[in-house]
Amino acid sequence: MTNWTVILSIAKTHLFTKVKQTSIAALGVTFGIGSYITLVSFMTGLNTMLDDLILNQTPHVHVYNEIEPSKKQPVSLYDNFKESFNIVHSIKPKMSQKKIHNALPIISYLGNDENVRGVLPQVKTQIFYIAGSIELGGNLTGINAIDEARLFNMGDYIVEGSAEALQTTDNGILLGIGIAKKMSLKVGDRVQVSPINGGIFPLKIVGFYQSGIADLDAIQSFTNIKTVQRILGKAKDYITDINVKLYDIEEALPLSKKIEQQFKLKAIDIKTANAQFETGTTIRNLITYAVSVTLLIVAGFGIYNILNMLIYEKMNDIAILKATGFSGKDVQLIFMSQAMIIGFVGGVLGLLIGFGLASIIATIPFQTEALPTIETYPINLNPLFFVIGFSFAMISTFFAGYLPSKKAKKIDPVRIIRGQ
């Protein structure tokens, strides 16, 4: 038998006659929710950008031949020493080839796996960039440029030229921007490279590569797989690395384990390779939520305070309402609905303000050498944040309103009326 029209009309009258207090309480919520939306969209925007910076270029599973010492030294195979304590000094790594044995069948095998989005072969080698009499050490990686751009966003890091240009140009090179600066080269020039085992090969510069990591940009260049194989004088099946990209990143660890077992190769999954990165993301999220929750709790206390004061002011009204037939529950609902109205209005305003602020931040220029593709601050406006923010506004105002309204419910009208 709750008469909502009456209860809401009383709540409305209370709120409208105390516009100043009402708006201060609502502003508390607005401020809390607004800063939550701004903060969380800005922080997750940055997080996503930083994650992309590393994770997008990182293969989910990286397969290669590791140079390492044999796990079992020959002495342990010899039965006569089985019971004795063996010490082997200065163990050397096992002599093995850099190339992946049977690379092409492995690639086609992995490509058929339904979890795999793409498998890219690479040929990595050390070379010298030759400028007159100066030799600069560096790395040259042979890639399928268009596939790299498609799967690992390589295009984001090509500051001049394009992946297509590299793919289509025979003897083309995508030069690290650091080397280009050192050697004063521009697109269209030729650069001479020399592999460790001798010989000089002139390559045509088709573009510049900038990863954002200066040390890397000073040594790393890319060319076609075929070109590297020719420079090294190797056959078409000479592949040193295989990069796998999956649909689901969670599959990376099991797949890497399987590859290691099946092919006796080293396979590193993305999570193992970037464990510290995940930690950073988690902690940043934690800070964002801690700050937002603090803001909302402060706003909640504001509402609590104002409602408490309102109830003290309205003691007589409460007594008279109860005397004329309103039950304790009705009175509680009157004050609860006031709290919820404040929460609703403040929450919606907060969402709008948060959206506005985030949109403004998204237009502020943010240019840094390290991130060539970013022009403004990254903002992640996920609808989920708005749902969370709004729910939090309603929940916190509910609790802020619940305690004072419970007190109003329990007020004894006789004591108020007689105490006058």
Examine residue 17 and tell whether it contacts another protein (CB under 8 A): yes
14 is a site residue for another protein (CB under 8 A): yes
- CA atoms of 405 and 334, how far apart (whole Å): 8
Determine, following the binding rule CB under 8 A, whether residue 5 of this chain makes contact with another protein: yes
Any residues with CB less than 8 A from the CB of 229 and at least 6 apart, and which?
A: 123, 142, 235, 236, 238
Helix, coil or strand: residue 237: coil
Taking the complex as a whole, the smallest distance from the CB of residue 397 to another protein amounts, in Å, to 22
Kindly report the number of other CB atoms within 10 A of residue 139's CB atom: 14
- Which range of residues in 5-13, 80-88, 132-140, 372-380 is near another protein by CB under 8 A? 5-13
Pairing of strands 220-224, 172-176: antiparallel
Query: Of 8-16, 61-69, 141-149, 346-354, which part binds another protein (CB under 8 A)?
Result: 8-16
**Is residue 309 a contact residue for another protein (CB under 8 A)?**
no
Binding of another protein by 323 (CB under 8 A): yes
Q: Give the x/- contact pattern for another protein in 218-257, rule: CB under 8 A.
A: ----------------------------------------
86 touches another protein by CB under 8 A: no
Size of the residue set binding another protein (CB under 8 A)? 29
Q: Is 326 in the site for another protein (CB under 8 A)?
A: yes
Q: Length of the chain, please?
A: 420
Output 324 or 368, the one with its CB closest to another protein: 324
Burial class of residue 302, CB neighbours in 10 A (0-12, 13-18, 19+): buried
8 near another protein, rule: CB under 8 A: no
Minimum CB distance to another protein, residue 399 (Å): 25
Distance of CA 294 to the CA centre of its chain: 24
Q: In this chain, which stretch among 13-21, 61-69, 204-212, 216-224 interacts with another protein, using CB under 8 A?
A: 13-21
Q: Which range, of 221-229, 267-275, 317-325, 377-385, touches another protein by CB under 8 A?
A: 317-325
The residue from 320, 348, 361, 381 that contacts another protein (CB under 8 A) is 320
What values do phi and psi take at 248, rounded to 5? -120, 120
State how far the alpha carbon of 193 is from the alpha carbons of 136, 227, 246, in Å. Answer: 9, 12, 34
Among 73, 282, 327, 391, binds another protein (CB under 8 A): 327
| Residue 293 identity (one-letter amino acid) | V
Binding residue for another protein (CB under 8 A) from 96, 316, 359, 363? 316
For residue 364, the SS3 value is coil
Q: Pick one of 101, 160, 328, 362: the residue that binds another protein (CB under 8 A).
A: 328
Instruction: Please report the DSSP string for 52-82 in residue order.
Output: IIIIITS-SEEEE------SS-GGGG-GGGT
Q: Hey, CA dihedral for 177, 182, 185, 191, is it positive or negative?
A: negative
CB of residue 331 vs another protein: minimum separation in angstroms? 10
Dihedral over alpha carbons 23, 28, 30, 34 (to 10 degrees): 160
Q: What residues numbered 401-420 form the site for another protein, per CB under 8 A?
A: 412-414, 417-418, 420
Is residue 187 involved in binding another protein (CB under 8 A)?
A: no
| 352 in Cβ contact with 381 (< 8 Å) | no
Q: What is the largest CA-CA distance in the chain?
A: 108
Task: Tell me the closest approach of the beta carbon of residue 300 to another protein, in angstroms.
Answer: 26
Alpha-carbon torsion, ordered 296, 299, 301, 304, to 10 deg: -120
Q: Which stretch binds another protein (CB under 8 A): 49-57, 115-123, 187-195, 322-330?
A: 322-330
Amino acid letter for position 214: A
Angle formed at CA 103 by CA 205 and CA 261, multiple of 5 degrees:
130
Q: How far is the CB of 3 from another protein (least distance, A)?
A: 5
Distance of alpha carbon 83 from alpha carbon 89, whole angstroms: 19
Instruction: Give the one residue of 63, 175, 322, 333 binding another protein; rule: CB under 8 A.
Output: 322
Q: Which residues bind another protein (CB under 8 A)?
A: 1, 3, 5-6, 9-10, 13-14, 17, 316-317, 319-330, 412-414, 417-418, 420
